[in-house]
């Protein structure tokens, strides 16, 4: 892969982290893979969920992102949203069918561990 492509990929991952929904959506509509992974195995969805970007999470779900993709540590988008106490992203993921009992740790275990009552209720 050329240095230019690597730089573009890094920019796209930054857009996911920063919640730059419209800009990231434009790249995905132009053909960027919605489930592209970085060196840690993170997808755009995992990064958006971890960085409290619920609008980006919703756009990625609508674009067909893999809800159950996990990074090299076994973490999934739903668990990341729960860990960050991002109720809106967790709600988007749950409503789209993300499995609260998948991954390491699971979203359900994470909610109990950190006492996120509102999210625990969503997972019930």
Q: What is the pLDDT of residue 44?
A: 98
Structural domain for 38, as ranges: 3-123
The three-state DSSP-derived secondary structure of the chain is CCHHHHHHHHHHHHHHHHCCHHHHHHHHHCCCCCCCECCCCCEHHHHHHHCCCHHHHHHHHHCCCCCCCECCCCCEHHHHHHHCCCHHHHHHHHHHCCCCCCCCCCHHHHHHHHCCHHHHHHHC
Task: Give the CATH number of the domain where residue 57 resides.
Answer: 1.25.40.20
Record the pTM.
Answer: 0.94
What total of structural domains would you count in the chain? 1
pLDDT tens, 13-71? 999 999 999 999 999 999 999 999 999 999 999 999 999 999 999 999 999 999 999 99
Position 82 scores a pLDDT of 96
Give the pLDDT confidence of 89-111 residue by residue, as tens digits: 999 999 999 999 999 899 999 99
pLDDT at residue 116 greater than cutoff 90: no
């Amino acid at each position: 892969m050329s240095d230019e492509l690597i730089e573009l990929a890094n920019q796209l991952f930054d857009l996911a982290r920063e919640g730059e929904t419209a800009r990231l959506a434009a790249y995905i509509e132009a053909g960027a893979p919605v489930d592209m992974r970085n060196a840690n195995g993170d997808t755009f969805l995992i990064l958006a969920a971890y960085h409290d970007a619920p609008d980006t999470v919703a756009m990625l779900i609508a674009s067909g992102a893999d809800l159950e993709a996990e990074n090299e540590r076994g973490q999934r988008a739903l668990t990341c949203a729960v860990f960050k106490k991002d109720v809106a992203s967790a709600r988007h993921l749950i409503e789209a069918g993300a499995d609260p009992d998948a991954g390491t740790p699971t979203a359900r275990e994470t909610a109990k561990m950190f006492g996120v009552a509102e999210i625990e209720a969503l997972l019930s």
